[in-house]
């Protein structure tokens, strides 16, 4: 995100003794495999817990007539309940879709597919190893952005 490379953000990062990592566009599926499948399923289940709470049981109200919010204990229970209903297959399918988990049948793939995966892996490693800690990241060059737009 462009805002992350402004001088003020770079100064804030530097002040915390942190080292920024630039994650190029298009590789979220490799780095955030839970975004592919698990987060959506979890949020649906969590919302169902909240809706059940909203539509059932007695609620208490403030003097001004506003309904009191759920307790932190109750919210934590919703989270536990929702997470317990996320299927293991949903999690593994997210990692499989990201290419981070292979079935036995997936391992028997064509050499063309292996070459494509190796090229992607090499490109990711090149991007991560392209800058040194001493250099500030000033954004992608216009040429890199044009190349990415062509893909």
Q: Express each pLDDT in 36-72 by its tens digit.
A: 788 888 999 999 999 999 898 888 888 998 888 888 9
Higher pLDDT, 107 or 35: 35
Which of the given ranges, 21-30, 86-95, 121-130, has the highest pLDDT on average? 86-95
pTM of the model: 0.51
Model confidence over 74-113: pLDDT tens digits? 999 999 999 999 998 888 888 887 777 776 655 544 444 4
Q: Which residue has the higher pLDDT, 151 or 39?
A: 39
Query: What string of H, E and C letters represents the secondary structure of 53-93?
Result: HHHCCCCCECCCCCECCCCHHHHHHHHHHHHHCCCHHHHHH
Write down the pLDDT at residue 42. 92
Model confidence over 130-149: pLDDT tens digits?
555 555 555 555 554 455 55
Q: How much is the pLDDT for 149?
A: 53
At residue 108, what are phi and psi to the nearest 5 degrees?
-90, 80
């Amino acid at each position: 995100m462009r805002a992350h490379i402004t001088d003020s953000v770079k100064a804030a990062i530097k002040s915390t003794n942190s080292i920024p990592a630039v994650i190029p566009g298009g590789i979220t599926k490799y780095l955030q495999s839970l975004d592919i499948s698990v987060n959506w399923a979890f949020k649906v289940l969590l919302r169902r817990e909240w809706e059940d709470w909203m539509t059932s049981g007695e609620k208490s109200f403030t003097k001004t007539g506003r309904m009191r919010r759920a307790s932190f204990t109750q919210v934590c229970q919703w989270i536990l309940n929702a997470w317990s209903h996320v299927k293991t297959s949903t999690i593994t399918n997210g990692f499989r879709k990201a290419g981070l988990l292979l079935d036995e049948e997936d391992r028997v793939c064509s050499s063309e597919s292996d070459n494509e995966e190796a090229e992607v892996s090499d490109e990711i490693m090149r991007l991560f190893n392209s800058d040194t800690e001493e250099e500030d990241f000033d954004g992608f060059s216009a040429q890199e952005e044009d190349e990415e737009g062509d893909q």
